[in-house]
Chain A
Amino acid sequence: MPLKLTRAVFASLTVLFLIAPLIAILPLAFTSSVILTYPIPSWSLRWFEELFTADAWRRAIVNSLIIGGGTTAVATALGTAASLGLRNHLLFFRGSFRTLFLLPMVVPAVVLGVGLQVLLARLGLANSYAGVIIAHTVVAVPFVVVSVTGALSGIDKRVELAAQSLGAAPATVFRRVTLPLAMPGVLSGAVLAFATSLDEVVLTLFVAGPNQRTLARQMFSSIRENISPAIAAAAFLFIAATVAIGLVVVLSRSMMAKRR
């Protein structure tokens, strides 16, 4: 019994440690005060109003959605294709290739940022949506690769062989069997890609122009200029959106799982 208790306490402390920053910031989203501090004088939704009416914030939200959406689409397509390619046993240096795809996860964002800035300027994509989407895709692809590779490795190879023997051409096997079976992994990869893009500040600082200011970037700069509770309201939106997407994925997964 004491062991069980210790475990429970330890688990609670760990969870607390992880969500303490959220607990600290979230109530401030509903403050009526003009500065980001406790104690809260009274409750109000004025900062959400500010978020959706002030031009800078509204544009930042729209930009985040555009760039996040673009990144999700490109990273999911590329990451899924890469995972499929990495399944090929005939591929030489398969392990090295896999590591290469995961490299952006460990390379310091500052290094990537400088490199991308130089590269995108050369390509004439500096200060453009396409440029920011490309930059975000670089850091989002590894998440898709990890997630889809996991899903693919769970597929019994013989199921695909069976489909072939039953008369399905390779493209049909992919469309009717492989992709549907890997779909949970593709979906969670897409969500992770979107979350990565939403959250990305460092690369954005390097490659985005004033017109591509994302929500994260806007929070970052406004916290230096004025410590307005609008930041807390933006953070609240962030978390709510992430939790909502997460729930959708979990629900759709469990629905798919029920069918098996």
Chain B
Amino acid sequence: MAEFIRFDQITKFYGALCVVENLTLGIEKGEFVSLLGPSGSGKTTLLMMLAGFEAPTSGEIVVNGLAINGVPTHKRDMGVVFQSYALFPHMSVGENIAFPLQMRGTARAEIEQRVARALDMVQLSALRDRWPSQLSGGQQQRVALARALVFEPRVVLMDEPLGALDKQLREQMQLDIRDLHRRLGLTIVFVTHDQSEALTMSDRVAVFNKGKIEQIGTPRQVYDQPATRFVAEFIGETNLVEGVVERVSGGEALVKLPSGATLCAVADSAVAGQTVHLSIRPERIDLSDSRRPGGNSLETEVTDSVYQGDHLRVQLKNPAHPLIAKLGRRSQEYPPGTKIYASFAADDCRVIAP
């Protein structure tokens, strides 16, 4: 499929500070792409440049085959949803949603209809004549969403739209937005620092760090096959174990830990003799009384275990590295001091680029 939006070698400086560095990214029509990263990683700046609020220092932004660098915001035809909602406080809910249609010279009768439909879409029809200040945070954000969608923009940009909402509401809104995306076939660029939000909603996730994209892929790819140490640590929780590659064969590497134990790991690129990190997700670790035949097994001792409702979190100590394991709720209790084997499949143990 052809790329609908393309960031081509975008660089952005604020004074001497480089916030986006030579970044290239393509987004397809109808795709939901999350820009995920810690604050200051350049994700919001990239979104602001797409919206036209900021200009790139160098590089080109192309939408639908046309460079839009010189196009002012109001002619870009993109709906933007902000974390702070940014509703017009001096207009009613209905007037807020009618605003983009008025700007486009839509006929009065049609505005009426489309505002009604948009309100219906976000289930706020009853609140049409209220003022924004009379609404709860979640309702305000739904109004902002309706306002950004009512004029059927070619792209919807969302800058941490759910950041100000409480957890339960946020999760509901995540599903609502995902549903709207599917129903209306929208192209959405979604900025967030919440990894679970990005995994829940996106077709693809671009993980940002220090003005660059560390990895871009489906939620499954970035979680199961993190390309770099940053991605492995930023998305979900992981155990990082250092070791030296002994030998490589057919995408698998044998890695020797400082304790002398060896682990079998998936490796895209590794050279014998190289010092590498291995990433092992805590929920992929199994505990057993005896060494498992086949796969990896490390001899460890339990230092602490915490019951967390949906899972049991066990901290382990082994001669080389502390490990964390997350076990399903049917697992037994492990008192501190228990000697035990931590086992995991070679597939669940990955060599990470340093």
Contacts and interface: CB of A to CB of B under 8 A. Distances in A.
Contact of B99 (A161, A166, A256, A259): A166
A161 B100 contact: no
A172 B78 CA distance: 17
A159 B88 contact: yes
Contacts of A256: 90
A165 B79 contact: yes
Nearest to B80: A165
Given A165-B74, A167-B74, A260 B84 contact: no
A158 B72 CA distance: 16
Contact of A166 (B72, B89, B90, B151): B151
Contact of B82 (A162, A167, A176, A260): A162
Contacts of A168: 74, 99, 103
Nearest to B104: A167
A180 interface: yes
Contact of A259 (B75, B76, B78, B131): B131
Nearest to A256: B90
Contacts of B84: 156, 158
A177 B86 contact: no
Contacts of B87: 159, 162
B217 to A, nearest CB: 29
B89 A159 contact: yes
A22 interface: no
Contact of B78 (A156, A165, A169): A165
A259 B79 contact: no
Contact of B79 (A158, A166, A177, A181): A166
Interface in A10-38: none
Contacts of B100: 166-167
B51 interface: yes
Contact of B53 (A161, A166, A180, A259): A161
B103 A159 contact: no
Contacts of B133: 260
Nearest to B81: A162
B89 A165 contact: no
Contact of B90 (A158, A165, A169, A180): A180
A156 B86 contact: yes
Nearest to B78: A165
B73 A165 contact: yes
Contacts of B313: none
A163 B89 contact: no
Interface string B22-56: 00000000000000000000000000000111000
Interface residues of B, number: 31
* Chain A interface size, under 10 / 10 to 19 / 20 to 34 / 35 or more: 20 to 34
Contacts of A170: 74
Contacts of A169: 72, 74
Q: For B99, B133, B157, which residue has the most chain A Cβ atoms within 10 angstroms?
A: B99
Contacts of B86: 156, 158-159, 161-162
B277 interface: no
Interface string B48-66: 0001110000000000000
Nearest to A161: B53
A181 B80 contact: no
Nearest to A164: B73
Interface in B98-147: 99-100, 103-104, 131-133, 144, 147
Contacts of A167: 74-75, 77, 100, 103-104, 151
A75 B91 CA distance: 28
A163 B88 contact: yes
Q: For A163, A166, A181, which residue has the most chain B Cβ atoms within 10 angstroms?
A: A166
Nearest to A157: B86
Q: For A158, A164, A167, A172, which residue has the most chain B Cβ atoms within 10 angstroms?
A: A167
Contacts of B151: 166-167
Nearest to B144: A162
A166 B144 CA distance: 11
Interface in B319-337: none
Interface in A82-139: none
A20 B100 CA distance: 56
Given A172-B103, A181-B90, A259-B90, A165 B51 contact: yes
Contacts of A158: 82, 84, 86
Contacts of A162: 80, 82, 86-88, 144, 147
A181 B91 CA distance: 10
A259 B88 CA distance: 11
B74 A164 contact: yes
16 contacts: A156-B86, A158-B84, A162-B87, A162-B144, A162-B147, A164-B52, A165-B76, A165-B78, A165-B79, A166-B148, A167-B77, A168-B74, A172-B74, A177-B88, A260-B89, A260-B132
Given A164-B53, A165-B76, A169-B74, 5 more contacts: A163-B88, A165-B80, A166-B100, A167-B75, A181-B89
Q: 10 closest A-B pairs (Cβ-Cβ)? A: A167-B103, A166-B100, A162-B86, A165-B80, A158-B86, A164-B73, A260-B133, A260-B89, A159-B86, A180-B90
